[in-house]
Amino acid sequence: MSVRSIVRYPHPALRTAAQAVAVFDEALRTLAQDLHDTMLTVDGVGITAPHIGVGQRVVVLALPDDPAPRHYVNPVIIWRADDLIVHDEGSVSMPGVVEKVSRAAKVRVRYQDLDGVEQIEEADGFRAVCHQHEIDQLDGVFWVERLSRLKRDRAIARFNKLLRAGTAAE
């Protein structure tokens, strides 16, 4: 297993919808492990294959309340609650920038595990936010697109300033 390079905003892979995984094999398991290993190097809680430039619908979440990382292949949100919550969000592809984003407080996600078996998970709070954030990324919607135009422009300007100063978190 290995650590892969993370693409930085505004890389085209972050704005391209990922393709569904059709083959559940050792290459998929290796990709999932590489995603996890890569995420650990940047102290993240979630990462998608597009974050490393791979256009497949694969997500790894390693939330503080989980004993082990969870792998989601071909995830889709099949239900969202009407009530909203606001949470700080950022991205491994835009290190050093965080903004508040409004998302559904609860979601139901259909996905496949690494063996291709269909699963359904209901999530609320922080886990629901993470699912929505990562599935957006799989759909080619980078998190700053969920901000107002003003906040988005400010977030991008902050990131560009961090890059110019060489202080964007790695």
For residue 73, give the CATH number of its domain. Answer: 3.90.45.10
Residue 90: predicted pLDDT: 97
Task: Pull the structure tokens for residue 133.
Answer: 């954030």
pLDDT in tens, 146-170: 999 999 999 999 999 999 998 776 5
Residue 1: predicted pLDDT: 65
d(CA 162, CA 166): 6
Task: Say if residue 14's pLDDT is above 60.
Answer: yes
Hey, which residues are catalytic here?
134
Query: In which domain, by residue range, is 95 found?
Result: 12-163
Domain membership flag for residue 6:
no
Bridge partners for 44 per DSSP: none
Domain membership flag for residue 84:
yes
Burial letters 154-168, b for 16+ CB under 10 A, else e = ebbebbeebeeeeeb
Say whether pTM exceeds 0.85: yes
Task: Say if residue 9's pLDDT is above 90.
Answer: yes
pLDDT in tens, 44-79: 899 999 999 999 999 999 999 899 999 999 999 999
